[in-house]
């Protein structure tokens, strides 16, 4: 017998249909009606009280699986980076990675482009795709050999898989932990010019254009990088790009007290680049808003800045920062869920991220105005290393559903 759920009196936010008031009817694991719905006899009714009902988040490019943190942030699907132990370059490893989050999380592995992420020999992309990989990635590093990168793009393109690339020319950034500029100079940190990003993007975009492959640049953070992406899109190149809230909201000044929670990859940029990132979000150049979730414990963060490991815990704050961008009128509510659900799902080739009939019932109910304070010591992630520790934000997940099944949402005290 079918199981029916009826969500009523909600502010519906659909990346395709826009924002409206109404309900959603779910049968088993699929949405069957949206808007004005008739409630069948025996259906479980969930009164939304006017709160936002939207597609659950798809977080593209996480480095660690943290189910409670994902659920607290409204995330039910993640694209898992290949930088795991062992590296996701073998079909057995890829298949296991796809299963470890069940039943509360869909994990979509991003298989390594090269064996061991060494940037030399191509990995078995076709076999890894058949094992469950949804994309091909260069990991947290750049493939220096242009011939290898061209083969990666051509092969992935033939398989219908997007290549997810890290954009920093390693020949320029080797040993650097900061962006060259006044802040890095004052702190005495090894640094590299921001042009390292544009150099990498320029090459990879040209190769994507020549091969016809789909290229997603996981994070673009500089004005020069955004200009290259805009120009490529105008030429019809199949390129998309993402960014994290940290690179939208923080400049390299956040590193001034040697706080290693602000040691990120790519590093925080100067204020001009940060403002260029906000403008790129507003004008549609940026396609994906992601957390780059990479929690690191004190053994990796309580070190001199140059010796610490890059990365931050970002999954449970991603939605709140996104809602902040809506309040600041940088983007509207519909666009937010294009960035958080529809577009990342598209990069992964997964047919989710909308409230349209027929879509999987991955849903999140949100009180967009509920206040809370970020507290690194009380994060649900395995480590609470966030540069936003102590910051007040708004937006809490009230209910979360994966394929129509309710998931536990950690409660913030």
Residue 257 has pLDDT above 90, yes or no: no
Q: What is the mean pLDDT of residues 274-287?
A: 98
Domain that holds residue 60: 56-348
Cα 4 to chain centroid, rounded: 31
pTM of the predicted protein model: 0.96
Which band of pLDDT confidence, cut at 50, 70 and 90, is reported for residue 102? confident
Tokens of residue 14, six digits? 């659909």
Tokens of residue 37, six digits? 């719905």
Residue 412 has pLDDT above 90, yes or no: no
Say how far apart CA 1 and CA 314 lie, in whole Å. 40
Is residue 294 within 8 Å of residue 139, measured between CB atoms?
A: no
Q: What is the mean pLDDT of residues 43-61?
A: 97
Is residue 63 within 8 Å of residue 291, measured between CB atoms?
A: no
For the stretch 184-223, pLDDT in tens is: 999 999 999 999 999 999 999 999 999 999 999 999 999 9
Say how far apart CA 257 and CA 187 lie, in whole Å. 9
In a domain, 391, yes or no: no
In a domain, 20, yes or no: no
In a domain, 396, yes or no: no
Say how far apart CA 335 and CA 341 lie, in whole Å. 10
Q: Where are the alpha helices (DSSP H) in 100-220?
A: 125-130, 146-159, 170-173, 182-187, 195-211
Say how far apart CA 207 and CA 200 lie, in whole Å. 11
- Of all residues in the chain, the percent with pLDDT exceeding 70 is 100
Q: What is the mean pLDDT of residues 96-124?
A: 96
Is residue 312 within 8 Å of residue 290, measured between CB atoms?
A: no
Mean of per-residue pLDDT scores for the chain = 96
pLDDT at 176: 96
In a domain, 107, yes or no: yes
Dihedral sign computed on CA atoms, order 14, 18, 21, 25: negative
pLDDT at 92: 97
Residue 347: closest CA among 222, 234, 217 = 217
Say how far apart CA 25 and CA 34 lie, in whole Å. 6
Tokens of residue 99, six digits? 């299963």
Q: What's the CATH code of the domain at 258?
A: 3.20.20.140
Say how far apart CA 191 and CA 187 lie, in whole Å. 10
Say how far apart CA 90 and CA 123 lie, in whole Å. 8
The count of domains in the chain is: 1
For the stretch 291-320, pLDDT in tens is: 999 999 999 999 999 999 999 999 999 999
- Tell me the angle at which helices 146-159 and 195-211 cross, rounded to the nearest 10 degrees: 50
Residue 413 has pLDDT above 80, yes or no: no
In a domain, 306, yes or no: yes
Is residue 220 within 8 Å of residue 201, measured between CB atoms?
A: yes
Q: What is the mean pLDDT of residues 127-156?
A: 98
The CA–CA distances, whole Å, from 61 to 9, 65, 137, 405 equal 34, 11, 9, 24
- Beta-bridge mates of residue 165: 217
Bridge-based pairing state of the strands 4-14 and 18-27: antiparallel
> What does the radius of gyration of the chain's CA atoms come to, in whole angstroms?
21
Q: What is the mean pLDDT of residues 64-69?
A: 96
In a domain, 129, yes or no: yes
pLDDT at 104: 93
Q: Where are the alpha helices (DSSP H) in 289-368?
A: 298-301, 318-327, 333-337, 343-348
pLDDT at 212: 98
In a domain, 358, yes or no: no
Q: What is the mean pLDDT of residues 129-154?
A: 98
Burial per residue of 282-318, b for 16 or more beta-carbon CB atoms within 10 angstroms, e otherwise:
eeebbbbbbbbbbbbeeebbeeebbebebbbbbbbbb
For the stretch 7-24, pLDDT in tens is: 999 999 999 999 999 999
């Amino acid at each position: 017998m079918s199981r029916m759920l009826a969500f009523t009196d909600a502010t519906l936010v659909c990346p395709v249909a826009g924002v409206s008031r109404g309900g959603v009817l779910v049968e088993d694991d699929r949405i069957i009606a949206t808007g004005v719905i008739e409630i069948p006899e025996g259906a479980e009714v969930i009164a939304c009280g006017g709160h936002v009902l939207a597609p659950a988040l798809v977080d593209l490019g996480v480095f660690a699986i943290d189910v409670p943190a994902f659920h607290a942030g409204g995330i039910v699907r993640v694209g898992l980076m290949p930088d795991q132990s062992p590296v996701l370059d073998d079909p057995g490893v890829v298949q296991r990675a796809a299963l470890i989050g069940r039943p509360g999380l869909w994990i979509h592995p991003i298989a390594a482009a090269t064996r061991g992420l060494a940037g030399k020999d191509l990995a078995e992309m076709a076999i890894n795709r058949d094992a469950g990989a949804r994309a091909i990635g260069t990991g947290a590093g750049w493939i220096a050999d242009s011939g290898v990168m061209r083969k990666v793009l051509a092969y992935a393109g033939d398989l219908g898989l997007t290549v997810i690339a890290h954009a920093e020319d390693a020949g320029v950034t080797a040993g650097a932990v900061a962006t060259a500029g006044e802040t890095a100079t004052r702190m005495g940190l090894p640094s590299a010019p921001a042009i390292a990003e544009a150099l990498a993007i320029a090459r990879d975009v040209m190769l994507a254009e020549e091969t016809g492959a789909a290229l997603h640049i996981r994070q673009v953070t500089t004005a020069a990088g955004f200009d290259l992406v805009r120009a490529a899109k105008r030429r019809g190149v199949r390129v998309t790009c993402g960014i994290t809230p940290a690179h939208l909201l923080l400049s390299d000044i956040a590193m001034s007290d040697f706080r290693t929670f602000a040691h990120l990859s790519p590093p925080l940029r100067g204020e001009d680049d940060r403002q260029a990132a906000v403008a790129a979000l507003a004008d549609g150049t940026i396609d994906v808003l992601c957390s780059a979730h990479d929690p690191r414990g004190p053994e990796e963060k309580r070190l001199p800045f140059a010796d610490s490991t890059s990365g931050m815990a970002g999954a449970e704050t991603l939605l709140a920062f996104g809602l902040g961008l809506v309040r600041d009128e940088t983007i509207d509510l519909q666009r937010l869920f294009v960035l958080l659900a529809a577009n990342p799902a598209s990069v992964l080739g997964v047919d989710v991220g909308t409230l349209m009939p027929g879509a999987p019932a991955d849903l999140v109910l949100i009180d967009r105005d509920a206040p809370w304070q970020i507290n690194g010591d009380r994060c649900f992630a395995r480590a609470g290393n966030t540069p936003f520790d102590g910051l007040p934000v708004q937006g809490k997940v009230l209910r979360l559903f994966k394929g129509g099944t309710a998931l536990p949402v950690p409660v913030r005290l």
